[in-house]
Amino acid sequence: MAGDPEDGMLSWDESVFRDEHVFEIDYVPETFRHRESQLESLKYALRPAARGSRPLNTVVRGPPGTGKTTSVQKLFSELRAQTDVRTVRVNCQVDSTRYAVFSRIFEGIFDYEPPSSGISFKKLFGQIADRLVEDDEVLAVALDDVNYLFYENEASDALYSLLRAHEAHAGAKVGVICVSSDLSLSVIEELDSRVQSVFRPEEVFFPKYDVDEVVDILRERAKRGFHDGVLGATELDRVAELTAESGDLRVGIDLLRRAGLNAEMRASRTISVEDVEEAYEKSKYVHLSRSLRGLSESETALVEVLAEHDGEQAGSVYEAFHERTDLGYTRYSEIVNKLDQLGLVETEYAEVEGRGRSRSISLAYDPEPVLERIEG
């Protein structure tokens, strides 16, 4: 490096970050680019709520990391600021039963959690609906990652209760936005006919960002999050390439943060391509980490068993799982199906001589990063 070698070095109280929060997954940017038509469609569905009527029900679909949650959060924030509409976003990866969904709605309306035991669903539901009627308020509920409700066979019951609220409690006005990242799931077709008859949603699709859009979004995020001169054009292009490869904008945002931390580890004022490449080794597993965080104890146990018995016959995998959890084959099969839907495992049927069709199961990732993230 030309000149004083200390020129490019950070002192103890310096950082490459102007605002590190900009790189967190739940950050809602002030300027939200390349989703104008989707935002307009969602506004159209929510506009009746601002006039005191029930909003239109909506299904929002698209691959992970395409701006679905951010769009809903942005519009919910605007609704709360400008109207009396109640908005509640439920993370169905965490709250994946009907009771858990309504507990989160209760908390959103009353500003405290319901008792953890001793209150029936009917009473919980009744208190929510009564408050809405009493205050003459409209409720807009976003079921984010609604696919998790389907994996647990809870979607139809949860939606039925929300959509029929006005029948059980005259004057209750509730609209639902279902957000799904599972493109193989047909939200409407998978619902019971009793729900399909009243749901009839608007549909809004979020496609993957193209490379130019990724560069634009990441440049804006870097401008807000880093000090001037920290991220050069070459480094930004490399981040964008890796993000486009993964198809998930969240990988790119996490990659920027980790690359910044790598630069700080070197006490450098600028991010290098090497910082980016090194960061990608962890950032590329953003989807894996997120999926693993939402698993139950028995689901995590099966992932561990698969990691430890990688490439072995399905029979020996089940035996090891049963030994560890004492659960039977029916529950094992249900968990395999859920992990398959989440993209954590790959399953295929093959003819086995003397045994007919047999299902083989393997992890969709190398065992090492999976076990690292479970143990970490």
Q: Find, among 155, 92, 165, 156, the residue nearest to 128 by Cα.
A: 165
Asked whether residue 365 is marked as a ligand-binding residue, the answer is no
Max CA distance (Å), the chain: 76
If 0-12 CB within 10 Å is exposed, 13-18 middle and 19+ buried, where does residue 280 land? Answer: buried
Task: Tell whether residue 243 is among the known ligand binding residues.
Answer: no
Does the annotation flag 69 for ligand binding? Answer: yes
User: Within 10 Å of residue 39's Cβ, how many Cβ atoms?
Assistant: 18
Q: Which residues contact 352 (CB under 8 A, 6 or more apart)?
A: 358
| 67 belongs to an annotated ligand binding site | yes
Ligand-binding annotation for 221, yes or no, is: yes
Contact 214, 180 (CB under 8 A): no
Residue ranges of the binding site for ATP: 66-70, 209, 221
Residue ranges of the binding site: 66-70, 209, 221
